[in-house]
Amino acid sequence: DADVTQTPRNRITKTGKRIMLECSQTKGHDRMYWYRQDPGLGLRLIYYSFDVKDINKGEISDGYSVSRQAQAKFSLSLESAIPNQTALYFCATSGLGAGDNEQFFGPGTRLTVL
């Protein structure tokens, strides 16, 4: 079984709709991240959380919100989706130790906003 899972894997929605993307992990990591990936722009950080009570904005948080329901779960919401939020979204996790820089990614959610 995958260590980091994301649901849904694909979603098509309309402008103005509320969307929630979910991420779960079984790695026991404290740190979780949400990224979006667009062609030519690479991965950009939306939000990150270093533990259940910690939420931080990344470089492109406008139009998004997150919830860290438990150590293992980190969800991303688009309150009112717009077409330029069409992208591939990745959740990632990392450990807490000094050497734990490696991030482990989920399989991604492909979101299309019409």
- 103 touching other proteins, by CB under 8 A: yes
Span interacting with other proteins, options 16-24, 63-71, 75-83, 103-111, rule CB under 8 A:
103-111
- The residue type found at 90 is F
Residue 51: partners with Cβ closer than 8 Å, 6 or more residues away: 30, 31, 68, 71
Task: Report how far Cα 65 is from the mean position of its chain's Cα atoms.
Answer: 10
Chosen residue from 13, 31, 67, 73 binding other proteins by CB under 8 A: 31
- 41 touching other proteins, by CB under 8 A: yes
- 56 touching other proteins, by CB under 8 A: yes
User: What is the 8-class DSSP label of residue 97?
Assistant: S
Tokens found for residue 53: 């009570």
Span interacting with other proteins, options 15-23, 67-75, 77-85, 97-105, rule CB under 8 A:
97-105
